Amino acid sequence: MQIIVHLGPRSYPIILQNNALGSFPARLGKLFPESKIALVANTTLARLYGPLLALWKKELRFDFLAIPDGEKYKTVDTWNLVVDFLLRKGLDRKSVVVAFGGGVVGDIVGFAASAFLRGIACVQIPTTLLAMVDSSVGGKTGVNHPLGKNLIGAFHQPSLVWMDSAFLKTLPRREFVAGYAELFKYAFVGGRSMFDFVNTHHDRMMAGDHTALLEGIRRSVAIKAAVVASDEKEVSGKRALLNFGHTFAHAIERALGFKGVLHGEAVLFGMRCACDLGMRAGTVPDASRKVYAALLEKVPRAPIGALPDAHVLYGAMFTDKKISGGKLHFVLPAKPGESVVVNDVAEKQVLETLRAVMNLK
């Protein structure tokens, strides 16, 4: 199945399939028949998918680099390692670099492609659920800085996103649940049909039912593609809606020093906080309160480290890079499937939410 991200001359296809791993070389070869190719994965994926990559290499003859695995390596140093590799292997402006992995590999390699010779083609092969439904689509690339996450980067749309749900078979359960948070998120911003789909098929997707999961991924990708097409660089406010639950999530991650919590796990809490705050701030219509309550029951709960008092966590929200004009922006639920950005939520209500949802002092 194919979904197009419509961005004029920078439009690109997202291929979504199940168990057709052998078909990648033909697809890439058709798109880039004459190009020199480099493929970058991390050491974990190089080990897990060594035989598959060896098969692909026979057909595509790419240069291969494995970078270290982990968010702590999402740095300028690792970015430099990739750029250095591309230079040494003699890639040119017509070349293509393939990012094979989760959001970390995708973000680093996408950023390397954006800067190498002022920008070469990049193909994303997302192998985590998070990367499939979110990070591989939309062209946000970058690395972390000691002062914060994703502070250095560029918008650089891929030329192709090629995903196969077979990769999820080897994904650890904890990573699956964290990625599922980003799929669940689309229930709040992707329209009534996605809201109902998640409500109805949540249990099946969590149990790994392949048909339900594939449909959940397809719907998520279609929603993200449409949002990116309408607000590529996050200026009109439409793309900002994809940050549902993220103002809270980022504060939780920072309060925990990014240790012992995955981004998606923080988003699970963030979504519950956003719903609670939406009820307090009055963005959720009275008639919809019950449906939200039922959906919230389904949000998976992840174990989380000890958090500071509510007012400290509130303070942590003001260091988010998405903050502007000194004001917090919350994406809050409105009618089922829709959310709104609210800039003037009272501190008292945010503290009440943090105390109620997170059990904080």
Q: Which residues are marked as active site?
A: 118, 140, 182, 224, 234, 239, 243, 246, 250, 263
Dihedral of CA atoms 244, 250, 256, 259 in degrees, nearest 10, equals 90
Q: Is 140 in the site for ligand GLY (CB under 6 A)?
A: yes
Please tell me whether residue 232 binds ligand GLY under the rule CB under 6 A. Answer: no
The yes or no reply on residue 44 touching ligand NAD (CB under 6 A) is: yes
Residues 115-134 interacting with ligand GLY (rule: CB under 6 A):
134
Rg of the chain in Å (alpha carbons): 20
Q: Of 176-195, which residues contact ligand NAD (CB under 6 A)? A: 178-179
Taking a C-beta distance cutoff of 8 angstroms, is the pair 99, 110 a contact? yes
> Of 120 and 242, which CB lies nearer to ligand GLY in the complex structure?
242
Take residue 274 and report the two structure tokens written for it.
Answer: 């956003």
- DSSP per position, 317-357: HTT-TT-BTTB--EEEE-STT-EEEES---HHHHHHHHHHH
| Per-residue DSSP letter, 69 | P
The distance of closest approach from Cβ of residue 78 to ligand GLY in the complex, given in angstroms and rounded to an integer, is: 21
d(CA 109, CA 158): 11
What's the Cα-to-Cα distance from 26 to each of 23, 33, 180, rounded to whole Å? 6, 10, 30
Q: Does residue 270 belong to the site contacting ligand NAD (CB under 6 A)?
A: no
- Binding characters for ligand NAD, 48-67, by CB under 6 A (x = yes): x-------------------
User: Closest separation between CB of residue 87 and ligand GLY, Å?
Assistant: 29
Is 202 near ligand GLY (CB under 6 A)? Answer: no
Which of 109, 138, 212, 239: binder of ligand NAD (CB under 6 A)?
138
Phi and psi at 42, nearest 5°, equal: -110, 175
Give the C-alpha separation, 25 to 31, whole Å.
Answer: 10
Q: Which span (12-20, 169-177, 214-222, 338-346) binds ligand NAD, by CB under 6 A? A: 169-177
Residue 272 touches which member of ligand NAD, ligand GLY, none, C-beta under 5-8 Å by kind = none
Closest CA to 205 of 230, 185, 223, 180: 180
| Closest residue to ligand GLY in the complex (CB) | 242
DSSP 134: I
| Choice from 101, 190, 278, 333 touching ligand NAD (CB under 6 A) | 101
Residue 248 CA to residue 228 CA, distance in Å, equals: 23
CB nearer to ligand NAD: give 134 or 276.
134
CA torsion angle 38 154 239 122 (round to 10): -10
Q: How far apart are CA 176 and CA 210, in angstroms?
A: 13
For the bound state, the minimum distance from the C-beta of residue 99 to ligand NAD, rounded and expressed in Å, comes to: 10
Task: Candidates 32-40, 58-66, 127-135, 339-347: pick the segment binding ligand NAD (CB under 6 A).
Answer: 127-135
Among ligand GLY, ligand NAD, none, partner that 150 touches (CB below 5 to 8 angstroms by kind): ligand NAD
Q: What angle do CA 211, 172, 25 make, to 5 degrees?
A: 65
Residues in contact with ligand NAD by CB under 6 A are: 42, 44-45, 48, 69, 71, 74, 101-105, 107, 127-128, 130-131, 134-135, 138, 140, 149-150, 167, 170-171, 175, 178-179, 263
